[in-house]
Each structure stands twice: as structure tokens, then as C-alpha cells.
Chain A
Amino acid sequence: MTDLADTGKATEGGAAGQARTPPRAISPWRRIASDFIESKVAVVGLVMLSIIVFIALFAPWISPQNPYDLTQIRVEESRLPPGSISQTPPSEQTVDLTVDPAAGAATVALDNEAPFSAVEAAIEVSGDGTRVAVTLDLEPAAAIDSLDRIRVDDLPRGAELSVGEKHSFRSFWELQADEIVSFEIVSEDGFAAPFTIEIDLRGTSGEELMTYWLGTDGQGRDMLSAIFYGLRISLSVGVLSGIAALIIGMSLGLTAAYFGGRVETVIMRIVDLQLSFPAILVALMLLAILGRGIDKVILALIIVQWAYYARTARSAALVERRKEYVEAAHCLALSTPRIIFRHILPNCLPPVIVVGTVQVANAIALEATLSFLGIGMPITEPSLGLLISNGFDYLLSGRYWISVFPGVALLLTIIAINLVGDQLRDILNPRLRRDG
């Protein structure tokens, strides 16, 4: 006896048959988390996913612009390449310059306060009455970056300007910025009566409003904002339909597994039938019959997805049902719903979660495809798919950013979900579990 006791105590490492303190209990969630972190790729995916979810949740607050507020977009800023800068809209005004050659005076009337808040004019009539020299003192309303259009119209018959160029067939003269400050009106026949000329001015203050980091689309919407909003819709539709499908599918799957017999056969036959058709065709047909609209899209997505959850839940439940804790629960006379939902369900969750992550990615991709084809989300709630579709035509003319960037956003979302899902699957797969 003592021999063995001594032997036991002399142990270094290796089991010796003596009792040791039991290992600390680690909750399954903690273990999942620590296993998850082992793969760097999966962690990258998780980070990406968190950023995307964050963007989707807070899109209205973090977007530079609300792309669906019509007052914020301007058509003249459409199809701008990435990195373009939006400037304050130009202001236009017409200055009516009334010249009284006899009196040698001029009066000015402005129809607008911008780009110039005040204009003072002084004229000098030449000795022979054929030339009127005009000097304008222009008081800008705000700092002017450039005057990009200066036109003088309504000259009296036969009169010409000493500067600028007259349009080839229309009546106005086009001037440069430095020319408008001082110029001459020349008329060989002289000037009989007071006359009024129109000076059209257009300028921008050149203030930078925002940068279109990813360019603008065909209507002038900022792509970055459109993508944020689009992510929001794509993600919500995907997750919503996924969760609903999960609840429905899982309930049916568990029911089928628990009750067996007729119930199981009927349910599983429907599942098999549904799964033998590709999702996109089923969705296509459903939308063809049901019509368009956001609720119908979600309904179609749910119908397409529930079968995967049902099948997975049923397989898992079949395995669990044979286990002893279910018998034990029976012996305790627990009610059936309680057994199903509180005992079996939690143990079926891992494979269902794994299916769930992949399914959400699929749902998002499917919705994008449907929107791309034009039978998905309506224009009022554009998802990424619709954005891509809108940009398709511009692709062939080289304006790639309208389609490509929403596409990249879609991509990153799907890849992130798949990376996380892959790692979850490896962790939760009992066959690959390395214990001890």
C-alpha cells in the first residue's frame, strides 16, 4: 500500500490515478469566443461586419448627405468622378444699366443681391457722341471665386461693344471678368435717347460644401451616402427575413423531429420539394405572382429561406431527441412545449446559427439580385442591388463608380458574414472539436 502511495506522490506530470482539483468550468460562450479568436481571418471578418452594421444602423446620422432629400441634390453635379468637390450653387443676376447719354448719367437696377450686392456705374460720353465709356464698380456680396458667365444683351441698334465677343447668331455679347469693369459702347450713329442694356452675371463663391468621395450618380446623389442608406436597407431586409425564416423554420423542424410519423413526413416532404428548386427561381416566380413591393420581397425571401432552417433544426433535433436528458425530462412529466423549447432547442442552436449566418449572406445577395433585375426593392427604398442596377448603363461608358462602389460594399458585407460564419462552423462542428 505504502509503495503505491509513495509512487503517487513522486509523480511529476502524467496522470497517476490520484485525484487532482477538477479544471475550472468555462461557459460555452466563453469557449466559443476564445476559439473564435484563434483565426485571424475570422476576427478581421468580425471587425468588418461590426463596421458595416454600425454604418447601417447610424446611416442617417453619419452620411454626409441625405441622398433621398431632393433639396440636397443638384443635377448639374451628377456623374462626377470620385473625389470631386461640391461647391455652392452659382448665383445669377441681371443688372439693368440705363444710360442717358445726353445727361451723361447712368442708373443701375439689380434684380438680385448676388453675386453682387451693389453696382455703381459711371459713364463718359465721347465728344462726338459715338462712344459711351462705362465704368462699373461691382460690390460683391460675398467672396467671389469666379465669374463664369458675363453677357451683355439688349444693346441699342447698331451699337457694339469694344470688348468681348458677340455670339454668332444671338444678340448677346460674351465678356471676360476683367472686361466688364470698364468698356465702351460704340455706335456710329450716335445715341439718340436713353437706352438700357442688360448685363447677365453668374458667379460662384467657390465655397466648398462637401467632397464627393465616391463620386455622384446619374441624379447627382453622393455615392457614399447612397451606399450607406443602401447598406441599411440591404442589411435590414436580409436580417429581418433571416430571423423570421429562422423562427418559422426552426419551429417546424423541431416539431417534425419531436413528433415524427405523419407530421414529420409531411413537413419534410415540403422542405425537400422546396429545396430542390433554386432559390432565385422560386423568388422570381413568387414575385411574378405577388407583384412588387417591399413587403412582398421580404415575404418571398422568408419563403425561400425557411426550408434550410427547418432541415437543419430537424437533423439536430433528431440527434438530441435520442439523448438521455430528453428521457429524463419525460420522466419529470414536463410539458411538451417546455421540453421542445427549453431543453432541445438550445442544443440545436449551434448548427442553426451556422446556417443562419450563411443564410443571411445569401438573403442579402438574393435581394440584391432581385433588385438588380428590377423586381426587388422599389425606387423609394433603394438597396445596394438597385444602386448597382442604376449604374449598369454608365459602366459601358467608363463611369464605373456608380455601379462598382455599391458592388464593393455588397461584396464586403457578404464576405464579412461568410468569414464569421465559416469560423463559427468550424468551432461549432462537433466532429472537428479538439478536446483536451
Chain B
Amino acid sequence: MTVFIIRRLMQAILVMFIMSILVFAGVYAIGNPIDILLAADATQADRERAIQQLGLDLPLWEQYFIFLGNLFQGEIGRSFVFNEPALSLIMDRLPATLELAAAALFISVFVGIPLGIWAGLKPDSLAGKSIMVGSIFGFSLPNFWQGLMLILIFAVALGWLPSGGRGETAVFLGIESSLWTLDGWSHLILPAINVSLFKASLIIRLTRASVREVIGLDYVKFARAKGLRNRRVVGVHVLKNIMIPITTIVGLELANVIAFAVVTETVFAWPGMGKLIIDSIFVLDRPVIVAYLMVIVVMFIVINLVVDILYSIFDPRVRLADRGA
């Protein structure tokens, strides 16, 4: 098992290297790094100083190593707008986005899987059919429109929940987050639902399809033939087999959660990374954009690694096959 993890880790580091080269190429080789890293209204003197400072007159491969070195130290340039290091700007906003992502993940898994199982076991019932129709709405409606509707219904028409912003935060176990306060939840719940709808719908459909597929298989029949209670047949035999594709989707879709967070944060004025990036694109605050790109890449790689590991926990065939390979 440890061999497996180590191997995956090495692959992850390799991918990170490749990505850093790609980003470097995109910024320094293809784009004009001066334009990207410098404000549009810099004077000629500023430019020359910047060229010197950033070492842009050095050969490309030397620049790459400097770039890499800077990366490790967390320096990716300063924001034009805020005049702060771009990376620290992003890291400041990261917790808010992670909160959103965590809440959305929770909702989509713990609501999506049970609904999907229900729809899979009773596909022709009214509940089963309406769950499926509902799921179509969940993933085909554009994310921002769902957000608008949520605001319209719950904030404007019913007035139950606030229409935007983040709630109060509190510190628990050394982590400051709005998850620990009631006010925080009242602000969090609508955007979290918004982000989770797409994923929950996918999970529902996938779970239902997997359940339909598995329920006809021989080992389910055999489990029944042993006289096991239906609860156990579904809860253990069926569930464990469908966890594999579901975990894959949950993991891969985590990337989408971060992506949708961008839209949701704009609609709900949630102060996370996503809102920052949209604002930065508008004002062409390029260092922030580059920093965001790098952070995203690292996050994705980490997520893929975790998914791979979870995969091997759920499916022993993967784990054991690896030993021989």
C-alpha cells in the first residue's frame, strides 16, 4: 500500500513540474512577460528596472530556474490593484472558498447518494421519477441561474435568508471559519446549495445507474439467496460496489466545485478566490491571475492524488494488482 502511495506521489510531483513549465512558457515565452507582470501604465524607466529585476534579459532556461525558485518561495508577483503579493492575496481568500467547497461537498454526497439509491431501487415510482427529473434540472441549468433563483425565492420572496456576503466567523480547533457560527451558516447555506446542485445531480444519476447495473448482477441475487436482509444487501453489497465509480466522480468533480465557486461567489458576493479572480480579470490584474492558476494546478494535483488513494481503499483489486506491476 505504501509503495502505491509513493508511486502516485512521484507521479504527482512530475505533473506539477510539467505544469510549472507550461505556465512558465505561457507567461514568459509566449506572452510578453512585461505586459503580464507590469501595470499597463508603467513608464519606460519602470520597464527597464523591471526587466533587470525580473531577470528578463537572461537566457530562457535561467529564467525558468529563477521562476521555479520564486515559486517555492511563494513569490509570483505583486497585484497591481492591491499592491500586495499576489499569492498572499489568494491565500487570504482561500479559506472562504474552501468553506464553500466543503459545505457543497457535504451536501452533494450526503443528499445525492441516498437519493440516487432510492431512485435506483424504485425507478418506476413517483419518487424515483421525480428525483431523476429534478436531477436533470440540477445539471443542465446554468449555475448562475440556479443561484439567481435561489436568491429570488429564499431571499427576496420569502426573506428567510440573506442574499449575499459571508457571515460571522469563529475559531475552532485553530481554524477560523464561518462554519462554526449560526449566522455563518445562514449566509453559507444558499451558496453552498448552489455549488452543490450540479454535483449532487451527477451523483444522483450515477448512483442510480450504478445501482440499476449492480442490482441485476449475480452476486446480489446470491446474497439474497443466502437469506440476507434487504438492508444488508443494499447497504453493504450494492453500496460497496458502487462506491468506486462514485468516488471517482466525487473526486474529479471537486475540481468543478472550485470552478463553480467562481460563479457562485460572484452571484452571492462571497469573498473567496473566485470573486477575486473575476474582479482581477476585469481590471487585468495579471499577477493575480497567474498566481491563481498556479494555486489551482497544485490543488488539482493534490485532489487527484487523494482520489487515487481512496480508489485503492475501496477496490482491493486495484491495490493488489499494483503490487505485482
Per-residue interface assignment for chain A, residues 269 to 296, with 1 indicating a CB less than 8 Å from any chain B CB and 0 otherwise: 0000000111111001101110000000
Chain B contact residue count (CB 8 A cutoff): 38
**Chain B residues positioned under 8 Å from A365 (CB to CB):** 140-142
Q: Whole-angstrom distance between the alpha carbons of A280 and B155 in the complex?
A: 27
Among A276, A288, A374, A410, the residue within 8 A (CB) of B255 is A276
Known: A277-B300, A414-B140. A395 touches B289 (CB 8 A): no
Verify B145–A400 contact, CB threshold 8 A.
Answer: no
Among B144, B286, B293, the residue within 8 A (CB) of A372 is B144
Known: A287-B281, A369-B142, A414-B140. A280 touches B163 (CB 8 A): no
Mostly, the A contact residues are helix
Verify B278–A277 contact, CB threshold 8 A.
Answer: no
Interface set, chain A 408-424, CB cutoff 8 A to B: 410-411, 414-415, 418, 422
Q: Whole-angstrom distance between the alpha carbons of A396 and B141 in the complex?
A: 21
Verify A414–B142 contact, CB threshold 8 A.
Answer: yes
Verify A280–B142 contact, CB threshold 8 A.
Answer: no
Verify A281–B163 contact, CB threshold 8 A.
Answer: no
Q: Which of B74-82, B223-231, B236-244, B260-268 is near enough to bind chain A?
A: B260-268
Q: Does B259 contact A (CB under 8 A)?
A: yes
Verify B296–A281 contact, CB threshold 8 A.
Answer: yes
**Chain A residues positioned under 8 Å from B255 (CB to CB):** 276-278
Verify B262–A280 contact, CB threshold 8 A.
Answer: yes
Verify A280–B263 contact, CB threshold 8 A.
Answer: yes
Q: Whole-angstrom distance between the alpha carbons of A263 and B26 in the complex?
A: 24
**Chain B residues positioned under 8 Å from A395 (CB to CB):** 148, 151-152, 156
Interface set, chain B 250-300, CB cutoff 8 A to A: 252, 255-256, 258-260, 262-263, 266-267, 277-278, 281-282, 284, 286, 289, 293, 296, 300
List 11 A-B pairs, Cβ < 8 Å: A276-B255, A277-B255, A278-B255, A289-B31, A368-B144, A373-B144, A392-B148, A395-B148, A396-B163, A400-B156, A403-B148
Q: Whole-angstrom distance between the alpha carbons of A284 and B277 in the complex?
A: 9
Among A280, A388, A400, the residue within 8 A (CB) of B259 is A280
**Chain A residues positioned under 8 Å from B148 (CB to CB):** 388, 392, 395, 403-404, 407
Q: Whole-angstrom distance between the alpha carbons of A276 and B251 in the complex?
A: 11
Q: Does A375 contact B (CB under 8 A)?
A: yes
Q: Does B304 contact A (CB under 8 A)?
A: yes
Interface set, chain B 94-136, CB cutoff 8 A to A: 136
Q: Does A127 contact B (CB under 8 A)?
A: no
Which residues in B have some Cβ–Cβ distance to A below 8 Å?
26, 31, 136-137, 140-145, 148-149, 151-152, 155-156, 163, 252, 255-256, 258-260, 262-263, 266-267, 277-278, 281-282, 284, 286, 289, 293, 296, 300, 304
Among A279, A375, A392, A411, the residue within 8 A (CB) of B282 is A375
Closest B residue by C-beta to A422: B136
Per-residue interface assignment for chain A, residues 382 to 409, with 1 indicating a CB less than 8 Å from any chain B CB and 0 otherwise: 0001001000100110101001100100
**Chain A residues positioned under 8 Å from B144 (CB to CB):** 368-369, 372-373, 385, 388
* B158 to A: closest C-beta gap in Å: 13
Q: Which 9 A-B pairs have the closest CB atoms?
A: A278-B259, A365-B142, A278-B256, A288-B281, A281-B259, A280-B259, A372-B144, A407-B145, A414-B140
Verify A398–B156 contact, CB threshold 8 A.
Answer: yes
Per-residue interface assignment for chain A, residues 359 to 388, with 1 indicating a CB less than 8 Å from any chain B CB and 0 otherwise: 001000100110011110000000001001
Among A289, A398, A411, the residue within 8 A (CB) of B145 is A411
Verify A414–B141 contact, CB threshold 8 A.
Answer: yes
- Beyond A369-B263, A392-B267, A404-B152, 6 additional contacts (C-beta under 8 Å) are A284-B262, A372-B144, A373-B263, A374-B282, A400-B156, A414-B142
Among B140, B278, B282, B304, the residue within 8 A (CB) of A418 is B140
**Chain A residues positioned under 8 Å from B163 (CB to CB):** 396
Among B136, B260, B286, the residue within 8 A (CB) of A280 is B260
Q: Whole-angstrom distance between the alpha carbons of A186 and B262 in the complex?
A: 71
